[in-house]
Structure formats: structure tokens, C-alpha cells
Amino acid sequence: MLQPDFKLDFNTDEIYSVSDFLSLCHSSIENNIPTCWLRGEISNFSSPASGHWYFSLKDKQGQIRCAMFRLSQRNTKFIPENGMEVLLQAAPTLYQVRGDFQLIVRHIEPVGVGNLQAAFEQFKVKLRDEGLFDAQYKKSLPAVVNTIGVISSSNGAVIQDIIKVLNKRYPFAEILLFDCVVQGEGSAEKLAQAIYAADKSGRCDVLILARGGGSLEDLWAFNEELLARAIFATTTPIISAVGHETDTTIADFVADMRAPTPSAAAMLATPDRLELLTKLSKLHANLVQRTQQTLSHYQQQLNQLDLNLPSFNRQLNVFAQRLDELNTRLDYQVKITLNLHQGKLNTLFEQLKQHSPITSIKHKQQLNQLAKIQLNSHIKRTISQQQLNLSNLTQSLEKSIRHHLEQQQYKLARHSAGLHHLSPLNTLSRGYSISMREDNQVLDSVSQVKIGTLISTRLNDGKIYAKVEKIENN
């Protein structure tokens, strides 16, 4: 406690302003206290819009203000929470604006679990709460796989393992490798793009996201939220196979199925050739067995029928005999009935015959025949009568004609003799002649000719042809 009379021994020149004093402290602290590691529990954590983190680090006896700027957070995968025990590397400083002593945190990591492990746990909780791991969203693997999309690096053993397994198990499946970096800065984003491309290609029946084993850091891309959401968004079933059996990533939780290794993923995606062969053999055996059963079934039926055949035959014989018997009886009956009817029929026929128009027709025909004969003889008679008449007439006609001819011939002879006396020809023989013109006009007058007229003169024994040279009238 200060006494009023207590005399302070100080130089007024040495009075500091607040800010000067803070500056003094600031440099004193920064120069004297090195960057060091502290362990404590986080409280009053806040992260304003700037993205910087502010919190208190405390233990049971005390606490200290801490600030961790965004730049320093780059390598921090988890987000500090109140109550979290952390180990941090920090440099003490003085926040002169408020005069607060505080730590500028360069690095922070959870105590017990690693930084990444903590982040992993945090993401896991977050995405699980969002439902990204829910069984209801898990797509089942297709029964038939023709094309498998593998999202992995073309380098390294992973793809070779997958190829080897598939070649052995199920060579039908075409493999499409969506080549992608699987670790390092930006790999999560690239993987997400590759998954998107594989899904959207629509060619793959199933996708395998694969990476070989590695440290948590190596595998970190598979824990990133971006990739988890890309996996969740696929419409193609996707199998995650990251790292070794003990490595589990967020991707494993989101994927439709998790395989402990890439080879295992290839096995999950496809049926086994050997299993298929076994299945084929089984099917074939069933086929053969069923066919044999069917055959023996029909054989049995056949045998049964064969067995039944003798008694059936006996039965048949009885029927046949009976039939014969009935047949004979029927035959007899028929014959009797037939005979009876035949007799009646004959009687009727005879009766019918008597009344038959044929009889009267025959009679009429006979009459007709008779009439015909009579007519014929009458006609013949008449004809020969007429022929006789005709012949008589002809004879008398001939006779009369001959007679007449003879008379005429006689007459003619007579006239001819007379005519002979009168013929000029007789005159000619006595020295007379007849002259004619060329037109046979007998000349009886000189006027009938002119000088130069050609004339012919008939004598008794020939003809003279002459030309008129002179005409004299008497």
C-alpha cells in the first residue's frame, strides 16, 4: 500500500505514454519469448466473416487469448471446437489496441488424435447427419456388368490389379479407365470431375473409385467434402476401394459399396468365371436330369400301356366275337327281310308290268307297223301301176314320134329330089355361072358393081376371082 508521503524517485523524462509502453512490452515480449508449444483446452471459439479464428486456450488455472489467421489455417483440416484439447504452436504478442496479451497460433492439432483424424471425424459426423451415408441412398450393384468405369491413376499397381482380377474372373467386362491424379493439391476436385465424367458418360454399369494404400495425408483427397458430394450425386452404382483394408475414408462411407482393396472391388463388381462355369455345369446337369426324367416318365407311361394291352386285347376279342355274332344275326335278318320284300316286289312288279304303258305302246307299235306295211305295199303297187302306165305311154309316144319322123323324112327326101332339079348348081354344070361381090351379094345387075369392084364367079368346078374393068349396060 502506497503511503501519501512515500517519495517516488523518478525522472519525469522517463514517463511513457500508453502506446509507447505497449510498444515496449510488445517488443520485449516478442524479442524475449520464443515461439513455443502449448497445450490446453479451447473455449470461446469464434470465427467471424473474416475467416480468422479467435478462441481462448485454458487450463484449470488460467487462460490466454489466441488468434489464428486464415493463412495459418491452410494446413488445418479440422475446425477447432470448444472443449477440444489441442496442442498448438504459437508466438506470444501484445494486441496493443486493447492491451491484451495473446498468442498468434501458427499450427494447431488435436491432442490424442491427429489433425486429419479429427477433421475426418468431424466430416464423418457432418455428412452422416446430412444423410449421405444412409442405406436408403445406396444403389445396388447391377446383376449384369458389361462395362466397368474405373476412376484411378493409370500409373501404379491399382489399375493393374483390377485388370488382372477382371481378366481372370470376368473378361467380358470392358474396362474404361478414367485416368486421374489420386493425391496432392487439388486431387479431390479432379477426382470429383472424373467421377462426374464417368457417371455422365452413361456407358458404365458400375464405377470403381480406387487408390492404393498410403498415409492419411496421401489418402486425404478421399476424405474431402467435395469428393463425398460427387460420389453421392452419381446415378451409377459406385464401389469405393481406397487404400488397404484398414484404411477407411469418407468416400468409403458415401459410396454404394466399400471394398477393402481395388482387387476386391473388381471381385464385387463381377461374377467369377469359375462360379459361372460351375453354374453352367449345374444348369447343364439339371437339363440332362430333367430330360432323363421326362424320358423315363414317358417310358413308364408306355410300359403301363403295354401292360394293359393283353387284357385290353382280350376285351377286344370278346367284343369282336360279339360283333361277329351280331353281324351274322343281322345278316340273316336282313336276308329274310330282303327275301320277303323281294317276293312282294316281284308280285308288284308283275302287276305293274301288266299295267305298264309299255304293253299298250307295243300294241300300238304293232298296229303302226301293220299300217306302215299296208301303206308301203299300197304305195309300191300304185308306183308300179304308174310306172307301167308311164312305160306304155312312152312306148306309144316313141312309136308315134318315129312314125312322124319317118313321114317327115320321107317328105324331106321327096322335097330334096325336087330341090335338086331346081338347084343353080345343075345350071352351073350346064355352063352358067354366078358372080358375087365380096359381100356374097349375088350379082343380078351391073348396077351392083363399079369398076375395080372385086368379084368372084362360081363355076361348076370352082371359083374365079376378078376385078371389074368395064361395065356395059344392055
Partner 1 sequence: MAEKFDFNKGLSELEDIVKTMESGDLSLEDSLKRFEQGVILTRQCQTALSEAEQKISLLSAADGYQAQQPLDKES
Q: How far is the CB of 198 from partner 1 (least distance, A)?
A: 7
What single letter denotes the amino acid at residue 465?
A: Y
**167 belongs to the binding site for partner 1 (CB under 8 A):** yes
Q: Is 84 helix (H, G, I), strand (E, B) or coil?
A: coil
**413 belongs to the binding site for partner 1 (CB under 8 A):** no
Q: How far is the CB of 310 from partner 1 (least distance, A)?
A: 25
Q: How far is the CB of 242 from partner 1 (least distance, A)?
A: 19
Binding segment for partner 1 (CB under 8 A), chosen from 10-18, 197-205, 320-328, 450-458, is 197-205
Question: CA-based Rg of the chain, rounded to a whole angstrom?
Answer: 80
Q: Which uninterrupted H or E stretch holds 267? A: helix 262-269
- Retrieve residue 292's grid coordinates: 432323363
**193 belongs to the binding site for partner 1 (CB under 8 A):** yes
Whole-number Å distance between alpha carbons of 114 and 324: 111
Q: Are 142 and 205 in contact (CB under 8 A)?
A: yes
**198 belongs to the binding site for partner 1 (CB under 8 A):** yes
**295 belongs to the binding site for partner 1 (CB under 8 A):** yes
**288 belongs to the binding site for partner 1 (CB under 8 A):** yes
Q: How far is the CB of 272 from partner 1 (least distance, A)?
A: 10
Of 281 and 365, the one with the shorter C-beta distance to partner 1 is: 281
* Cα four-point dihedral sign 268, 269, 272, 276: positive
Distance of CA 383 to the CA centre of its chain: 102
**279 belongs to the binding site for partner 1 (CB under 8 A):** yes
Longest distance between any two alpha carbons in the chain, whole Å: 249
- Retrieve residue 446's grid coordinates: 351391073
Residue 29: Cβ within 10 Å count:
14
Whole-number Å distance between alpha carbons of 67 and 425: 199
Residue 59 phi, psi (nearest 5): -130, -165
Q: Is 229 helix (H, G, I), strand (E, B) or coil?
A: helix
Q: How far is the CB of 254 from partner 1 (least distance, A)?
A: 21
Binding segment for partner 1 (CB under 8 A), chosen from 159-167, 336-344, 380-388, 402-410, is 159-167
Q: Of 21, 137, 298, 319, which lies in the binding site for partner 1, with binding defined by CB under 8 A?
A: 298
Counting DSSP H helices and E strands in the chain, the numbers are 10, 13
Binding segment for partner 1 (CB under 8 A), chosen from 59-67, 287-295, 373-381, 449-457, is 287-295
Write the DSSP string, 169-211: H-TTSEEEEEE---SSTTHHHHHHHHHHHHHHH---SEEEEEE
Q: Of 22, 176, 216, 443, which lies in the binding site for partner 1, with binding defined by CB under 8 A?
A: 176
Q: Of 24, 157, 287, 397, which lies in the binding site for partner 1, with binding defined by CB under 8 A?
A: 287
**280 belongs to the binding site for partner 1 (CB under 8 A):** yes
- Burial class of residue 438, CB neighbours in 10 A (0-12, 13-18, 19+): exposed
Of 57 and 266, the one with the shorter C-beta distance to partner 1 is: 266
**190 belongs to the binding site for partner 1 (CB under 8 A):** yes
Q: Of 52, 138, 139, 273, which lies in the binding site for partner 1, with binding defined by CB under 8 A?
A: 273
**286 belongs to the binding site for partner 1 (CB under 8 A):** yes
**154 belongs to the binding site for partner 1 (CB under 8 A):** yes
Q: How far is the CB of 283 from partner 1 (least distance, A)?
A: 5
Distance of CA 184 to the CA centre of its chain: 52
Q: Around 206, how many Cα atoms within 13 Å sit in the side-chain half-sphere?
A: 26
Query: Grid cell 475426418 — which residue?
Result: 120
Binding segment for partner 1 (CB under 8 A), chosen from 106-114, 261-269, 280-288, 431-439, is 280-288
Of 119 and 173, the one with the shorter C-beta distance to partner 1 is: 173
- Binding to partner 1 by CB under 8 A, coded x per residue (else -) over 222-261, reads ----------------------------------------
Which positions lie near partner 1, rule CB under 8 A? 144, 146, 154, 160, 163, 166-167, 171-180, 190, 193-194, 197-198, 201, 273, 276-277, 279-280, 283-284, 286-288, 290-291, 294-295, 298
